[in-house]
Amino acid sequence: MKSQNKHPEAKLPSDSDEKRADRSERLRHLDTLGLPATEAEKVVEPSLDSLPTAADDAMPAIHDDRIGSKTFVPNVALELYEIAAQQGDAQAQYSLGLCYHYGEGTLKDPFSAFKWFSQAAEGGHAQAQYSVGVYYQQGIGTEQNSESAFKWFEKAAIQNQPKAQHELGESFYHGRGVEKNPAMAKKWINKSYVNGNKRASESWDNYELWKF
């Protein structure tokens, strides 16, 4: 396992309340007004038969529509996200992780991406919890660990994150990080489908989960 890169912690500037308010407003604008990425820019989901290896494009299951949008300015976003992330904002921590994951406004750095996804996940951010699960599952930015992947998929699934519910069901079906339990796989893959994840129907049919 490669040692984790060390990055100096950024010191927060001593700004006026007016500057902080302006920065907060710009951050809010980036988080709410980004236009969707084009279909060509969207990332393909992993196959049902096997998970991508670390040699593949890092995390095909994770995507944020702000990345690649016309209103997303990478350098400005990175600065704003980092300031808010250092102050404990879970959404900013997750967005900063995405910047490091995709190399938006900075070089790609899976170790830093994992660090910020993990902090956001600890703060209860469901998408970040799912992201940490995928990082553990594929061994990206950290050591591969099926048990830890299962733990974070479960946390996100309980918060109704559809992709996490699907991965939790897959984990139960294949016995990844947990004992095989087709009945639990049926439960979570069904929940994933109800919450809008179309991939769940493929798993349902492939595994004939109606039998359990």
Tell me the domains of the chain and their CATH numbers.
14-127 (1.25.40), 145-212 (no CATH)
Radius of gyration of the chain (CA): 18
Return d(Cα 136, Cα 126) in angstroms, integer: 15
pTM above 0.85?
no
With helix as H, strand as E and coil as C, how does 104-165 read? Answer: CCCCCCHHHHHHHHHHHHHCCCHHHHHHHHHHHHHCCCCCCCHHHHHHHHHHHHHCCCHHHH
Cβ(67)–Cβ(37) under 8 Å?
Answer: yes
User: How many Cβ atoms from other residues are within 10 Å of residue 33's Cβ?
Assistant: 11
pLDDT tens digits, one per residue of 130-182? 999 999 999 999 999 999 999 999 999 999 999 999 999 999 999 999 999 99
The closest of 155, 109, 103 to 133, measured between CA atoms, is 155
Tens-digit pLDDT profile for residues 118-139 = 999 999 999 999 999 999 999 9
Displacement of CA 159 from its chain's centroid (Å): 14
The structure tokens 């109606």 sit at 210
Q: Is the pLDDT of residue 5 over 60?
A: no
Least confident of 72-76, 105-109, 125-129: 72-76
Amino acid at 14: S
- φ/ψ of residue 18, rounded to 5: -65, -45
Q: How confident is the model over 107-114, as a mean pLDDT?
A: 97
Instruction: Read off the pLDDT of residues 16-62 as tens digits, 9 standing for 90 and up.
Output: 555 555 555 544 444 432 323 333 333 333 332 333 333 333 344 55
Model confidence at 69, pLDDT cuts 50, 70, 90, reads low
CB 102 within 8 A of CB 65: no
